[in-house]
Amino acid sequence: MPEDQSMPAVDLFDGGRDDIVIAILDGDADLTHPSLEGARVSRIGPFFPDDIHQSKQRFGRDHGTAIASLIFGQPATAATGLAWRCRGVIRPIYRDGKDGIEPASQEDLAVAIREVMAAGADIINISGGEPSGDLTIHPDLAAALADAEAQNVLLVAAAGNEGCDCAHIPALAPSVLAVGAIDPDGLPLPSSNWGDHYARHGIVAQGEGLVVAAAGGSVKQPRGTSISAALVSGAAALLLSAARKAGLSIGAPLLRDALVSGAERVDGEDAHKYLAGRIDLTGALTRLLPHVQPPNSQAEVVMTEIDVSDAPHGDHNPSFHPTAADASARLAPSTVDTRAAVPTVAQAPSRMTGIRPHEEEQDCPTCAKGTGEGAPLIYALGTLSYDLGSDTRRRSLLSSFDEKALSDPSAMLKELKKAQNAPLAEAITWILSVDEVPLYAVRPAGAFAAETYKQLVGFLDDHLNEGAERISLPGVLDGHVALPGGLILPVVVPEMRGMYSWTTSELVKSLMAGITAEKAADREAAIGNFLERIYFEIRNPGQEPQDRALNFAATQAYQVEKVFESAMKEDLQLDGIEVEKSPIARPNSDSWDVKLTFFNPMRRLEEARMIFRFTVDVSDVIPVMVGKVRQWRAY
């Protein structure tokens, strides 16, 4: 094209083209996740069915699902990807073992690269690596990398998360685009690796603060160079799409060079931690297609409205922005030498620990820390309901029950109680609500998961047929789940031995045994008032320790009854409810005092208030009462 001509502006952030194939070599991905439903993604062998459906450990599957969502996550979902129109190939290289992810060997990685190349991959994402002290690469892997370069397939690999001048295989290979991580402010993550082995063929991209999909329908916010590599793979697909729209056929070397030479250079003491620079899609596009008008000439590239006329979901999220790039003004061509090179091959490979994912522990105030030691505990009170999920899930459920059950809770309960429909309880999303506001998704796990699902079905039966108003829900938080309409709920793995269902009226009546008719009415009204104040006036999500103590107290009616028995003898009425940290507690406990204050309405000014206190230890998933109920007058 003559230099005095220009092409029209390119919508760089349009989701890419469906003739571009991005391969992900990682853990298996949960393609039933709401963010991936409708994505043009397929899976090729090997298959690890235990990982997909049965394994209690799901680290590899979580990692693979996260990477897939960053690239292929569909519009208007909880985790939208950059290249959601492109086609994808998932080729698992990790599987979950009893002690975590089982790494892949370099030979395994070489085989996987050749398989996805045969499947038509244009870009291959490898969000993992193996530390290499002597910079050696196995001959099989070196040959596969060289073949990928020769066939114009771009490999993108994470630089690693040790926070040091250290190399990882395959990111150290000059033909691979290495990727380090920065935070949302554009500063290097302390854990992101750097070094001369990356400086001439590596860039950095955001690796923290992004919502990604997790296996089982939840979402999370991980951090690390795994995340950055996936974003760069998606960005590379957008650049490749722009080139093909312009009628140009480009290969891996040009695509890699455009991203490296177009990156934003950073000066200063930590300049080496940015590798060749921060990703800048505007600068890369200018290097790749100098006659194409960039999508935006501002310092920060902002997503233009997405055209989703052929999108799988039929709508879009207009507020979505390209979190992959901290793109700034275009820079002059750099002198970085990014000529194609074949990796150095050692005849005697070093001792290898295997290719492993590069993702750090979550650092997200709104995300759960998992169900292990230190996981957030809850003790919540609320009502139980359920959600059938996406339209795709609803259609799939129709093969299991009568269509009437889709809209009739009683019909659904009937289906759930059928022995042959036991898996149905696991297929729907159970929800705990407070005042009809969904608060948590309930997902049993572990050895007693099947029994807990039966208990949930029983609670639904109590609610629909017996008038049960509330359940107690002790458990631990474990990620999030996205529901239709964009609602994201924390997931609770419940503890069955602390789950109860009841109605307030029946609970109060059970405390009236042996009480004379004359006193029963006053006692019933007083206890009912106390419980209603907890349920309505002091509503809480049950996550803070003081809230857990209060909610647990509300379920311990026999303790409350003793308090009111004493209060009623003196014609006292409830004035206030307080929870404060207990000044004395057992070692390794977390004890809180629930204090009930009563007054005599007939002698408000003359008579001192009566205080009752009982202590609740909330250090375990099931709180416990500590000691006896104490009482005194506050003069």
Task: Note the pLDDT tens digit of each residue in 106-116.
Answer: 999 999 999 99
In this prediction, residues 579-590 reach a mean pLDDT of: 84
pLDDT at 180: 96
- Say yes or no: 37 and 94 in one domain: yes
Could you tell me if residue 371 is inside a domain? no
Give the residue with greater pLDDT, 480 vs 265.
265
- Say yes or no: 494 and 513 in one domain: no
Reference 615, options 546, 566, 562; nearest CA is 546
Could you tell me if residue 611 is inside a domain? yes
Could you tell me if residue 6 is inside a domain? no
In this prediction, residues 553-575 reach a mean pLDDT of: 70
If pLDDT is split at 50, 70 and 90, which confidence band does 568 have? low
Could you tell me if residue 461 is inside a domain? yes
Could you tell me if residue 14 is inside a domain? no
pLDDT digits (tens, 9 = 90+) for 202-224: 999 999 989 899 887 888 888 99
pLDDT digits (tens, 9 = 90+) for 26-37: 999 989 898 999
pLDDT at 447: 78
In this prediction, residues 8-30 reach a mean pLDDT of: 85
In this prediction, residues 175-198 reach a mean pLDDT of: 93
Instruction: Please check whether residue 241 is in contact with residue 17, taking contact to mean a CB–CB distance below 8 angstroms.
Output: yes
- Say yes or no: 218 and 261 in one domain: yes
In this prediction, residues 460-481 reach a mean pLDDT of: 86
- Say yes or no: 66 and 193 in one domain: yes
Residue 150 belongs to what domain range?
Answer: 21-357
Residue 150's contacts (CB-CB under 8 Å, 6 or more residues apart) are: none
Could you tell me if residue 560 is inside a domain? yes
The CB density around residue 581, as the number of other CB atoms within 10 Å, is 12
pLDDT digits (tens, 9 = 90+) for 299-338: 232 222 223 233 333 333 322 222 333 222 211 222 222 2
Q: Which of 481, 502, 523 represents a domain boundary (last residue)?
A: 502
pLDDT at 235: 94
Could you tell me if residue 628 is inside a domain? yes
pLDDT at 606: 79
The structure tokens 């490999």 sit at 155
pLDDT at 424: 80
b/e sequence 582-595, b meaning 16+ C-beta within 10 Å:
beebeeeebbbbbe
Percent of the chain with pLDDT over 90: 34
- Say yes or no: 498 and 557 in one domain: no
b/e sequence 100-124, b meaning 16+ C-beta within 10 Å:
ebbbbbbebbbbbbebbbeeebbbb
If pLDDT is split at 50, 70 and 90, which confidence band does 511 have? low
Q: Which of 299, 328, 357 represents a domain boundary (last residue)?
A: 357
- Say yes or no: 386 and 343 in one domain: no
For residue 508 the two structure tokens come to 């109060």
For residue 21 the two structure tokens come to 């194939």
**DSSP single-letter state for residue 537:** I
The yes-or-no verdict on residue 234 having pLDDT over 70 is yes
Could you tell me if residue 282 is inside a domain? yes
Least confident of 18-32, 243-257, 343-357: 343-357
- Find the Cα–Cα–Cα–Cα dihedral 507, 508, 513, 514, rounded to 10°: 160
Amino acid letter, residue 281: L
Total domains, the chain: 3
User: Partners of 438 in the beta sheet?
Assistant: 433
Least confident of 78-87, 332-341, 505-514: 332-341
In this prediction, residues 387-399 reach a mean pLDDT of: 75
The yes-or-no verdict on residue 577 having pLDDT over 60 is yes
The CATH number assigned to the domain holding 229 equals 3.40.50.200
- Say yes or no: 409 and 483 in one domain: yes
Distance CA 275, CA 486 (A): 37
- Say yes or no: 254 and 129 in one domain: yes
Distance CA 580, CA 517 (A): 36
Q: Which of 467, 484, 502 represents a domain boundary (last residue)?
A: 502
Find the helix packing angle between 281-288 and 225-245, rounded to 10°.
40
Instruction: Please check whether residue 316 is in contact with residue 306, taking contact to mean a CB–CB distance below 8 angstroms.
Output: yes
Distance CA 171, CA 159 (A): 6
- Say yes or no: 481 and 622 in one domain: no
Give the residue with greater pLDDT, 566 vs 539.
539
3-state secondary structure of 41: strand
- Say yes or no: 541 and 493 in one domain: no
pLDDT at 564: 66
- Say yes or no: 524 and 382 in one domain: no
In this prediction, residues 40-48 reach a mean pLDDT of: 80
The yes-or-no verdict on residue 56 having pLDDT over 60 is no
The yes-or-no verdict on residue 632 having pLDDT over 50 is yes
- Say yes or no: 509 and 492 in one domain: no
Percent of the chain with pLDDT over 70: 75
The yes-or-no verdict on residue 490 having pLDDT over 50 is yes
**Mean of the per-residue pLDDT values for the chain?**
78
